[in-house]
Amino acid sequence: MADMFTIGEFARLGDISIRMLRHYDEIGLLAPAQVDPATGYRSYSIAQLRDLNRIVALRGLGFSLTEVRQLLTGITAVELRGMLLLRHAELERQIELGRSALSRVEARLRAIEREDEMADDIVVKTAPTQRLLAVARPIPGFGPGNIAPIVNEAHDVLSAIVAQMGLSPDRVYLTCYDVSGDDPGKHIEMFLGTPVPDSVTVAKDPAEIVLLPGTDVASCVRQGTTREVWPRIVHDVMSWIAEHGYAHVGPGRDFFLQTNEAEPGKQVFEIQAPLRRPEDPVPAVAPRRLAPDPTA
């Protein structure tokens, strides 16, 4: 059963802006799979993620939108791989100036090369309700480029609070998200948190106590840098959810199981994507702030 995504969700999966997705629709480059005739809301299918990956990759090669439209029809993964490898060689000669762009092209290349492979490291499990000591930050969008700088700053703040509160420094940190505002495509609140027991009822400012609801998730553990892992794991998990008859439910939860600043490629992440069977009710998955205990 094919899964459908709102324009905000699809923009999040493709790591591009909603405005750009609307532009792609207006110029006939990537039309939504469905448009609600009453509301005009656009919906996209998981199958369109492949086309979006190719558009982003070709734009990264420097092609204009007109050229992308011409190339997109009938281009094979082998042809696109060859073009991306040529770009890879060019960027290597640009030293520091091209390093950021190079890492993005490499990540897209790996995702495209393995598009038709079935991931065998994804499992469904029930994630328990967790009480978190967390700091909240607004973010401009999803994807490593939008999240990484803010996560790093939030982690410094939260780890200092953990020490001030006398909690064990040996902890797992995670990010979760709330997109329940009036415009989910523009208002995204990220919580960087770490699990704490029920006995922790008061947080040192600017941290707060947050409840992350338990729910069924598709879980996948991968090793590597965030820029390498993110595009591939999003494609794998979302494709797996659709192919196994589930429906995706809201933003995922990203666990930093093992960090390694000296060797980022050895970092270990667990990505949890909330899901449900289509016949089941939609569960509440967004983090919820808890009021401080006045007796504490």
Instruction: Give the pLDDT of residue 234.
Output: 82
Q: Are residues 268 and 217 in the same domain?
A: yes
- Which among 273, 254, 285 has a CA at the least distance from the CA of 119? 273
Total domains in the chain come to 2
33 CA to centre of own chain? 21
**Residue 294 within any structural domain of the chain:** no
Q: pLDDT digit of tens for each residue in the chain (296 aa)?
A: 347 888 988 888 888 889 999 999 999 899 999 998 888 889 999 888 888 888 888 888 788 888 888 777 767 777 777 777 777 777 777 655 555 566 556 655 655 655 555 456 899 999 999 999 999 999 988 877 788 889 999 999 999 999 999 999 889 999 999 987 655 556 799 999 999 999 999 999 999 999 999 999 999 988 888 777 777 788 889 889 999 999 999 889 999 888 777 787 788 889 999 999 999 999 999 999 997 655 55
- Which among 136, 272, 287 has a CA at the least distance from the CA of 211? 287
- Let me know if 145 is exposed, middle or buried by CB neighbors in 10 A (0-12, 13-18, 19+): middle
| Phi-psi sector, 32: left (phi>0), alpha (psi -120 to 50), beta | beta
pTM of the predicted model over 0.85: no
User: Which residue range is the domain that position 66 belongs to?
Assistant: 4-113
Q: Are residues 22 and 168 in the same domain?
A: no
Name residues whose C-beta falls within 8 Å of residue 197's C-beta, 6 or more positions apart in sequence: 131
Instruction: Give the pLDDT of residue 14.
Output: 84
CB atoms closer than 10 angstroms to residue 100 = 11
Instruction: Give the pLDDT of residue 280.
Output: 92
**Residue 295 within any structural domain of the chain:** no
Q: Are residues 108 and 129 in the same domain?
A: no
Domain boundary (86, 113, 140) is at 113
Q: In this structure, what are the phi and psi dihedrals at residue 18, rounded to the nearest 5 degrees?
A: -65, -40
